[in-house]
Structure 1
Amino acid sequence: MTIQAMKAGELAKVVINKEELFILDVRNTDQFDEWKVEGEGIEMMNKPYFDLIEGVDEIVDQIPHDKDILVVCAKEGSSKFVAEMLSEAKGQDIYYLEGGMKAWSEHLEPIKVGDLDGGGAVYQFVRLGKGCLSYLIVSDDEGAMIDPLRLVSQYKDFADALGIKVLHMFDTHLHADHISGGRRLAESTGGTYYLPPKDAGEVTFKYETLEDGKEVTFGEANVRVKAVYTPGHTIGSTSLIVNDTYLFTGDILFIDSIGRPDLAGKAEDWVSDLRESLYVRYKALDQELLVLPAHFAKLKELDEQGRVFARLGDLYKTNEGLMVEDEEEFRRMVSENLPPQPNSYQEIRQTNMGKLSPSPEEETEMEIGPNRCAVS
């Protein structure tokens, strides 16, 4: 019997396809409780590595024979060691996660959302390990990215495979839960980086302003990106409408929740902005627009293909954050009893302003853990 590496992309397919898998997570219990691989077909067990150094006899009977077994740890080494012992003890092939939870956190799964009228297409990059969503809009041989992550090599590889050049990078706001890749992509491709000016008061680099009503048209298919000012998550939060079909909401509106207003310490100040954006500005838009958010919180938000989107009008019937009639009740909901703030969110904001330049290893550590941009 042998051990075999399972790549993060292979695990992503298991999660999206709701396939059965048994995972033995050998990280410390506090790390496991904070953040883990999740999936409808996944059965999970946590046993810290240091409890297994002398052998796996105490857990062998708890590991099933009729499922694929995957051992995961933080970076790979410990899982390989445990997988070898488990394979020998059980007499069956055992998988270990190549690159560990670090690789899982950083994997982007590209999925086509749909085509655009007049030519072009929209692709969604699903970061299953953190709940982040970013987008590539294609117009012939030219592309634009919305809310790109720091993992720029994965975008470049995908763009190269499509034979396009990405020349327009949009951040809907100054992110606090992940490091943006917008400026890096613009620098590497010679493209333009767009950022809402009200979020950019402390940035240390040049950018193109993304203001209410601004339109950017690109490619031979004349794909149109229109900015709609929707503050509340941050004071500069700006949504984007593409070809009157797709509404990119950033962290203002999700499929199952709404954005939190406190990540810049302005919860009380921004509650009214948040309500105005959700209950007035969005209601004035075409309700047939398809909402594409920058995050998801639960796997149930993914459809059978792994995509995350919904019709705007439908969300006013299903999203509880959009159905609070009383303003005071809404204020309490979005300013009290909020979940913990994202890991290293202040350092991430500083990095996205250009004030900090962490190493790649430090960037990984800053982003480890789940996203926490939603109210609940």
Structure 2
Amino acid sequence: MTNTEITSEEIYENIQNKVPLLILDLRAPENYMAGHIEGSANAKCTSMQQKQAIMSKLPMDQKIILIDDDGNEASQNANMLARFGFDAHYLKNGIRSWNKTLVKSKQDTVISNEKLWESLKSDKDVFLLDVREPMEFAEFKIPGAINVPLSELFTSRAGEKIPKDKKIVTICSHGNRSMVATFALAQRGIESTSLEGGMSRWNQVLNANTAIKNVDLTIIQVEKVGKGCLSHIVGSDGQALVIDPNYPPSKYIEFAEKEGLKITKVIDTHQHADHVSAAKELAKITNAELYFSAKEEYKIEHKKVDDGDVIHIGKKQVRVIHTPGHTAGSMTFVVDDKYAFSGDTLFVESVGRPDLRDKVEEFASDLHDTIHKKLLKLESNTMIFPTHHGEGIKSTENGIFYTTPEMAKKLALLDLSKEEFVNKVVSITTPRPMNYSIIIKVNKGTIPIIEEQVPDLEMGPNRCSIQSS
């Protein structure tokens, strides 16, 4: 059997002789950060699945040295790697045997999705390094990220693309490749942080901005940052109606309570296809009334709303308008004849796609009628809040996404005749949302879901609008 043991003196000699080493520290992140061998990276795995995923990404042509507290865990892992053909070793007697200087970390080894979001809002020195393959990166990404595939990070030319004076955050789909990326960067003396859970978790960040705040009405817009999904909290007289809530539902309670509101009613504008609705779960944990469209089928206990109905919330009345097109049962909710919540029917930059239920011509015709005969007939300055925004669409100064009938009339698609509109929409071929057929069944209530499954099910960009040139 290969001897995988190595002493601190041998490691130091290798470092002095500039032997390429991949030094992986298996200790808890806080212990690693308190003091580690310079050039090493923290490789504490939280599960066997993660360990296997990371092992599959390690380079076979480099000398790997594992370090722990006393050598026990490291020796087991080194022997396992050696059996798979890696040139793997472990530090005899662990970090306690290292008699040279240890360095402290300036950055956390991992960063949560919400902490990264807060950092991006306030820290201009964050450098986002996405190590997925180019095709994955092209599908969806964090704005401002730079793509360098993991395989390139272990090559000499990769260093040219990576700044030395920034706080580097590595990104992949689930946090495994990004951890390996921190190994490659550590080899070059570059400290970095891995995004915990990767893009899967990034898609779950919710950010709230107050759109309207007056004596008897509060409207809070909640953005699912990674997907561009939008939901809304409408509050009056201490009560709140939540429209199109996303996961995680607990955040809506937090957002509402900050404004002194209690969630008493929850509703979806339609049966979503690109993300999992949190309406059922939010209603359950808040003991709120749950509403869905009367024109769509659900296997979930709820109250039905239809065209012309009125929902009372505090001192306000919410008027229901049937607005088919994106789906047959889509509804728009209007408050004070000043504010409308249009679901996926009308967006800031486009209109909802009518092809997700395989009745594209019929739904496209309905969509044209809905927009021209109903939404554009609202008062010209009505603020219309959609349930999505596209990539690159700018919000207002206070972070709000909305359109108005006057603004919407400038969309090229809405300048077409009905026949031209239908023909144009039918001719546009855009990939459907990932997992859309499963998501529809989940939102309908025919497939059960647990919150831990949501991030992977929602993975990818939102694709609920018509993308036309």
Q: TM-score, normalised by structure 1?
A: 0.89
Q: How does 1:149-228 map to 2 (within 5 A)?
A: 149-200=246-297, 203-219=298-314, 222-228=315-321
Give the aligned residue type for 1:47.
Answer: P
Shift of 1:139: 1.8
| Residue of structure 2 in register with 1:307 after alignment | 400
Note if 1:374 corresponds to 2:469.
no
Stretches (4+) displaced over 4 A: 13-21
The correspondence for 1:46, drawn from 138, 142, 148, is: 148
Give the aligned residue type for 1:248.
Answer: F
| Residue of structure 2 in register with 1:22 after alignment | 127
| Residue of structure 2 in register with 1:322 after alignment | 414
Secondary structure in structure 1 of the residue aligned to 2:199: helix
| Residue of structure 2 in register with 1:346 after alignment | 437
Residues 250 and 282 in structure 2, CA contact (< 8 A), matched pair in contact too: no
| Residue of structure 2 in register with 1:63 after alignment | 162
User: For each residue in 1:241-297, what CA deviation from the matched residue of structure 2 results, as whole angstroms up to 9, or x when unmatched?
Assistant: 122221111000000000111111111111211010111112221111101000001
Q: How does 1:128-139 map to 2 (within 5 A)?
A: 128-139=225-236
Q: 1:186–1:19: structure 2 CA closer, same or farther, 3 Å change rule? A: same
Q: Distance in 1 between matches of 2:181 and 2:166?
A: 17
Residues 255 and 301 in structure 1, CA contact (< 8 A), matched pair in contact too: no
Secondary structure in structure 1 of the residue aligned to 2:141: coil
Secondary structure in structure 1 of the residue aligned to 2:350: coil
Q: Distance in 2 between matches of 1:81 and 1:11?
A: 19
Secondary structure in structure 1 of the residue aligned to 2:428: coil
Q: How does 1:92-171 map to 2 (within 5 A)?
A: 93-116=191-214, 118-171=215-268
| Residue of structure 1 in register with 2:107 after alignment | 3
Q: Distance in 2 between matches of 1:14 and 1:267?
A: 42
The Cα RMSD (Å) is 2.2
| Residue of structure 2 in register with 1:283 after alignment | 376
Q: How does 1:207-286 map to 2 (within 5 A)?
A: 207-219=302-314, 222-286=315-379
Residues 257 and 375 in structure 1, CA contact (< 8 A), matched pair in contact too: yes
Q: Distance in 1 between matches of 2:199 and 2:354?
A: 29
Identity of aligned residues (%): 30
Residues 137 and 147 in structure 2, CA contact (< 8 A), matched pair in contact too: no
Give the aligned residue type for 1:323.
Answer: D
Structure 1: which 5+ runs fail to align? Answer: none
Q: Distance in 1 between matches of 2:388 and 2:453?
A: 22
Shift of 1:199: 1.5
Note if 1:31 corresponds to 2:122.
no
Secondary structure in structure 2 of the residue aligned to 1:249: strand
Q: 1:19–1:315: structure 2 CA closer, same or farther, 3 Å change rule? A: farther
Say how many residue pairs are matched: 362
Shift of 1:177: 0.9
Give the aligned residue type for 2:382.
Answer: L
Secondary structure in structure 2 of the residue aligned to 1:299: coil
Larger RCO, structures 1/2 (Cα 8 Å, 6+ apart): 1
Larger Rg: 2
**More deviation, 253-262/22-31:** 22-31
Structure 2: which 5+ runs fail to align? Answer: 1-104
